[in-house]
């Protein structure tokens, strides 16, 4: 059958519902997906129809019109961009007092069981290319613990410290949900009570070629991709997580991305500032390493708090400086947020409005002859929502600066910048800093990395303060130290 000549009457189906979906596909000019219909088994035909049934064709049509056919009509001009007010890293006494006060409020929120953790782990990890969920990567410097184990131990340690329950919700996507859940089961949930760990899958969107046609993975399936970390807000509602949170009395969600190895789970001072300001969604920020670092920044765009992607900043904006010589737009976005449950509810109720962003990529698929191809050039458009687009709906936010070396080291690439190697080194360096703080001599090399290996389990100490209470300060570092 030649796709161009296909008629929907040629696609024999079992019932009216199947017939309807076939008609819909034809009416949206995507009938090429039935090119091999007569070669498919009944099961394969059903699978294809099931996949097609899940597509929101109206949304797909909008995306095609906006991003494929009307490429030049997008992105209205930004009129103003200003740096936001930031809660600084406490340096002087009054800042330290404020931080201590905030911390008490945060301690209370955690202690009374109103805080949950949401970890987003639904991404494909294409740059890393590990073919397994990022959370299952072996990462700790001595014990070889996985990313998930480190997060789990932080949550466990927090629950012990506050004598409370901190429910943990992990967002996966269809491509990695089973592997993720199996990993937790095989590892007995890393000592957490499985009743307090939940998984929920995010939505997917079809991937299209650069002419707006659905790409196919096989003769009976289309290519789909997760709908971006912004899909968390939708999935929290659709998968019943918000209801579960309400039943448990959760008010605040600590959101982080699975690949940040240094994440400080549910930082109490951050919570305290957020709660006392009556904020609804609050980002942490870290200093950019240099004006050209390719990270989004947090700024006030046209009067609204927003995250501005690196590519959207002009060269002048990237290099603009304050009178004291510091970068004007220097607050990078490590993708750490506090979100109130009622805010996530409201954003869903007032019909969900996060925009979709297009990413043009090389996506394996089958060609017109049904042969698998691995393209060397970009051949496909994927669409994703970004969590930070919710910021402008929050009404009230606080923005808190934190020390980058203490809280942000993501695993994005297999090697070089932001890789498993840099993540391990950043853990070692942070532990070295904690140890130095309690008087242990820690040698460093010429670029400032600790010479040697250190691992401190979250179950031993969650931060420098806890380390101080526990450690024998006469300890001598001889190149390897493992505190579990
Ligand atoms: P990234 O944008 O870095 O994507 O996601 P990624 O999938 O990890 O890696 P690449 O871009 O394919 O190489 C940042 C975080 O957001 C999560 C990821 O799991 C990661 O924790 N994420 C991303 C989702 O949960 N869902 C998505 O659809 C996209």
Q: What are the tens digits of pLDDT across the range 250-282? A: 999 999 999 999 999 999 999 999 999 999 999
Work out the burial of residue 193: count CB atoms within 10 Å of its CB; fewer than 13 is exposed, 13-18 middle, 19 or more buried: exposed
Helix (H) or strand (E) holding 325: none
Residues 297 and 428 occupy one common structural domain: no
pLDDT, one tens digit per residue, over 360-415 is 999 999 999 999 999 999 999 999 999 999 999 999 999 999 999 999 999 999 99
Kindly give the distance from the C-alpha atom of residue 258 to the centroid of ligand 1, in angstroms, as a whole number.
8
Same domain, 304 and 426: no
* pLDDT of 54 above 60: yes
Containing domain of residue 31, as a range?
A: 3-53
**Which residue among 134, 180, 229, 239 is best mutated to probe the pocket of ligand 1, counting the most ligand atoms within 8 A of its Cβ?**
229
Q: Say if residue 218 is in the same domain as residue 148.
A: yes
154 CA to middle of ligand 1, Å?
21
- CB atoms under 10 Å from CB of 439, counted, come to 11
118 Cβ below 6 A of ligand 1: no
Instruction: Give the pLDDT score at 16.
Output: 86
Same domain for 400 and 307: yes
Enter the pTM of the model: 0.94
pLDDT of residue 286: 97
Residue 2 in this model has a pLDDT that exceeds 50: no
Name, in order, each residue with C-beta under 8 angstroms of 58's C-beta and a sequence gap of 6 or more: none
User: Angle of helix 341-349 relative to helix 241-248, nearest 10 degrees?
Assistant: 140
Residues near 304 by beta carbon (within 8 Å), at least 6 away in sequence: 391, 392
Looking at the structure, tell me whether residues 326 and 367 fall in a common domain.
Answer: yes
Chain centroid to CA 132: 16
| Atom number of ligand 1 nearest to Cα 127 | 13
Ligand 1 in contact with 124 (CB < 6 A)? Answer: yes
- Give pLDDT tens digits for 415-457: 999 999 999 999 999 999 999 999 999 999 999 999 999 999 9
Query: What tens digit of pLDDT does each residue of 103-161 get?
Result: 999 999 999 999 999 999 999 898 999 989 999 999 999 999 999 999 999 999 999 99
Q: How many domains does the chain have?
A: 3
Quick one: pLDDT at residue 7? Answer: 76
Q: What is the mean pLDDT of the chain?
A: 94
Question: Percent of the chain scored above 70 by pLDDT?
Answer: 97
> How much distance in Å is there from the Cα of 130 to the middle of ligand 1?
13
Distance 136 CA to ligand 1 centre (A): 14
**Hunting for tokens 């001889």 — which residue is that?**
478
Helix (H) or strand (E) holding 298: strand 297-301
Confidence of residue 14 (pLDDT cuts 50, 70, 90): confident
How much is the pLDDT for 6? Answer: 73
Asked whether residue 428 falls in the same domain as residue 482, the answer is yes
The answer to whether 147 and 140 are in contact (CB under 8 A) is no
- In this prediction, residue 4 carries a pLDDT of 54
Asked if residue 287 is part of any domain, the answer here is yes
Residue 344: helix, strand or coil by DSSP? Answer: helix
Q: Which of 386, 412, 438 is the last residue of a domain?
A: 412
Please report which confidence band the pLDDT of residue 13 belongs to, taking 50, 70 and 90 as the band edges. Answer: confident
Gap from CA of 256 to ligand 1 centroid (Å): 11
Q: Is residue 73 over pLDDT 90? A: no
Q: How many angstroms is it from 181 CA to the middle of ligand 1? A: 18
Select from 412, 437, 467 the last residue of a domain: 412
Q: Is the CB of 127 under 6 A from ligand 1?
A: yes
* CB of 259 sitting under 6 A from ligand 1: yes
With bands split at pLDDT 50, 70 and 90, how would you rate the model's confidence at 78? low
Q: Hey, what are 153's tokens?
A: 């131990």
1 pLDDT above the threshold of 50: no
Dist. CA 31 → ligand 1 center (Å): 31
* Statement to judge: residues 159 and 118 lie in one domain: yes
Same structural domain, 302 and 241: yes
Q: What is the mean pLDDT of residues 36-45?
A: 94
**HSE-CB for 389 with a 13 A CA cutoff:** 17
Residues in a beta bridge with 340: 252
Decide: 126 in ligand 1 pocket, CB within 6 A. yes
Strand-by-strand arrangement of the 380-384 sheet: 208-209, 380-384, 357-361
pLDDT at 209 over 90: yes
Q: How far apart are the first and last CA of the chain?
A: 64
């Amino acid at each position: 059958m030649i796709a161009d000549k296909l008629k929907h009457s040629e696609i024999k189906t079992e019932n009216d519902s199947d017939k309807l979906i076939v008609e819909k596909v034809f009416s949206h000019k995507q009938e090429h997906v039935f090119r091999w219909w007569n070669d498919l088994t009944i099961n394969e035909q059903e699978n294809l129809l099931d996949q097609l049934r899940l597509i929101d064709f109206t949304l797909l049509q909008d995306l095609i019109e906006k991003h494929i056919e009307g490429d030049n009509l997008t992105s209205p001009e930004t009129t103003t961009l200003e740096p936001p007010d930031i809660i600084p890293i406490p340096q002087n006494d009054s800042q330290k007092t404020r931080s201590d006060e905030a911390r008490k409020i945060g301690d209370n929120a955690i202690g009374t069981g109103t805080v949950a953790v949401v970890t987003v782990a639904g991404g494909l990890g294409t740059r890393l290319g590990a073919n397994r969920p990022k959370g299952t990567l072996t990462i700790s410097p001595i014990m070889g613990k996985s990313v998930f184990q480190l997060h789990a131990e932080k949550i466990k340690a927090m629950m012990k410290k506050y004598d409370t329950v901190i429910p943990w919700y992990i967002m996966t996507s269809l491509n990695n949900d089973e592997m993720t859940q199996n990993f937790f089961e095989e590892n007995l949930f890393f000592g957490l009570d499985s009743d307090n760990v939940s998984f929920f899958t995010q939505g997917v969107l079809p991937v299209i070629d650069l002419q707006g046609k659905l790409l196919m993975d096989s003769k009976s399936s289309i290519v789909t991709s997760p709908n971006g970390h912004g899909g968390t807000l939708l999935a929290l509602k659709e998968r019943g997580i918000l209801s579960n949170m309400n039943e448990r009395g959760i008010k605040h969600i600590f959101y982080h991305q699975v690949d940040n190895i240094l994440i400080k789970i549910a930082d109490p001072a951050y919570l305290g500032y957020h709660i006392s300001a009556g904020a609804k969604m609050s980002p942490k920020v870290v200093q950019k390493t240099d004006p050209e670092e390719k990270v989004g920044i947090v700024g006030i765009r046209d009067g609204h708090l927003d995250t501005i992607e690196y590519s959207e900043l002009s060269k002048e904006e990237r290099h603009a400086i304050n009178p004291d010589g510091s970068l004007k737009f220097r607050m990078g976005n490590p993708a750490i947020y506090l979100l109130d449950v009622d805010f996530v509810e409201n954003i869903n109720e007032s019909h969900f409005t996060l925009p979709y962003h297009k990413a043009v990529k090389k996506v394996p698929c089958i060609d017109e002859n049904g042969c698998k191809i691995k393209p060397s050039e970009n051949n496909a458009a994927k669409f994703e929502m970004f969590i930070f687009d919710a910021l402008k709906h929050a009404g009230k936010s606080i923005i808190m600066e934190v020390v980058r070396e203490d809280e942000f080291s993501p695993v994005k690439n297999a090697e070089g910048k932001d890789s498993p190697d840099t993540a391990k080194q950043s853990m070692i360096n942070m532990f070295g800093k904690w140890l130095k703080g309690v008087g242990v001599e820690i040698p460093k090399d010429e670029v400032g990395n600790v010479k040697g290996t250190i691992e401190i389990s979250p179950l031993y100490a969650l931060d420098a303060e806890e380390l101080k209470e526990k450690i024998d300060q006469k300890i001598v570092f001889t190149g390897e130290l493992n505190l579990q």
